[in-house]
Amino acid sequence: MRAREPDSSGYVESDGVRLAWESFNDTATTTVLFVPIDTCVHSRAWKGQVAYLAQHVRVVTVDPPGNGRSGRELDPEAYGDLAMVADHLAVLDHLGIDRAVLVGICASAWQALLTAALHPDRVLGVVAVAPWARDRTPPFEVRLEAVRHFDEERDDYSGWKGHNRHYLPDHWPDYAAFFFDQMLPEPHSTKQLEDIVGFTRETTGAVILAETASPSFPDTAAEAERLLRGISAPVLVVQGTADLCQPQGRSRSVVEWTGAEHLVLEGSGHLPMARHPVVVNRAIKSLVDRVSGAAAPRPVPRRHPRRRPRVLYLSSPIGLGHVRRDLAVADAMREQRPDLEVEWLTQSPVAEFLEQRGEVVHPASRLLASESGHFEAESGEHDLHAFDAYAAWTRCWSTTSWSSTTSSSARPTTCGSGTRRGTSTTSCTSTPSSSAHRSSG
């Protein structure tokens, strides 16, 4: 179950590599392309962005080579920077899209920037989330230490030492679980960690080794700076202060070289689009509005201190028994506060029942994926796996960003910078002097 299903989907061949794509809101005039993300995960990592942005623009997502529905390649060349740039263009050409706003994270953010530098006529703007960069920023020492011993057999493969040629082929799931636990240092990240670890299970250690050995471009920081200084499209860089993958110096280099807007999220780790989707979504849309000439949204008035108290009541549309309970709860609250305003976030048939009662159903209810439809689809031929269906539905709820309904202004939010269990955290990155070993951090 997904917050929004694609309008269309398919495959495109790029230099012999099969890439899977999905497109949402196909009739919109402006396109946001989430470029093929790092191979360790796939395009569903952007699920917190797709449903919201597709209300306003066309959104295209692409699974990277080696994960999701794309082909499984073992040739390192298929994962190189220039090969990925060619993949971006192949998808745009296949869909008949002249220009798009490109969005990427980590290494894929760097590849989006390279596309803007090498093919400026195809790029309206770039959003680079926690970008890797070929600059002079020193890597985190603990990650560099693992790279130094990457080809050696070791007695201990725990923690960062698991990034090793002899360990990854048979133990990729174990290392991936450790790695992304470090990438989500914010408290209460259990659901995001569960999702992202699930995405890593759709590739293999052999694929990760191939991607690790892929060639990067360009060869020097000086050439990288020259290329990025030539980018004419607007750039937005999003970086968390608790990112344990990419040092903040790399984001600052991209900002300096491109003149980018720099959104810094206090306490955020390496995956701000998962942990802070409202802030990230609004920042992306703001850039899209600027490059597309869309009218700026009207400022939301501040709430008057004497405004009546309000409740947004979420009520499941499965059956009508519980909505009577919910109405009883709402009535009890009104008895306590006669001036209370109650609006309902729900679907048919509960929405119609409430409207007949004289209740107010929130307009955003129309944006919800059908809960009853989900259970009906899961129960085909009377074979309902209830617990699996419920788990899938809760995952759908976690993807929905209420950016369009909240009245608070977008701003970075300070979150805890420690790990969830209070353990010490160490950081991971790539070595700037070699193209190998970048993908795992």
Higher per-residue pLDDT: 130 or 306: 130
pLDDT classification of 257: cutoffs 50, 70, 90: very high
Predicted TM-score (pTM) of this structure = 0.81
Q: Is 8-292 assigned to CATH 3.30.300.90?
A: no
pLDDT, tens only, 6-26: 999 999 999 999 999 999 999
Instruction: Tell me the pLDDT tens digit for each residue of 269-307.
Output: 999 999 999 999 999 999 999 999 887 666 666 656 667
Taking Cα atoms as reference points, which of 121, 117, 146 lies closest to residue 134?
117
Predicted confidence band of residue 2 (pLDDT cuts 50, 70, 90): confident
| β partners of residue 14 | 17
Q: Give CA–CA dist 346/344, Å, rounded.
A: 6
> What CA–CA distance (Å, rounded) separates 381 from 36?
37
Contact 135, 253 (CB under 8 A): yes
The mean predicted confidence, pLDDT, of the chain is 87
pLDDT digits 0-9 by tens, 158-210: 999 999 999 999 999 999 999 999 999 999 999 999 999 999 999 999 999 99
Model confidence at 392, pLDDT cuts 50, 70, 90, reads low
Neighbours of 191 (CB within 10 A): 14
Contact 95, 58 (CB under 8 A): no
Task: List, for residues 339-371, the tens digit of each pLDDT value.
Answer: 999 999 998 889 999 999 999 999 988 888 777
- Tally the C-alpha atoms within 13 A of residue 190's C-alpha that lie toward its C-beta: 2
pLDDT confidence of residue 431: 34
**Domain ranges in the chain?**
8-292, 310-399
The reported pLDDT for the residue numbered 383 is: 61
Determine the pLDDT at residue 404. 43
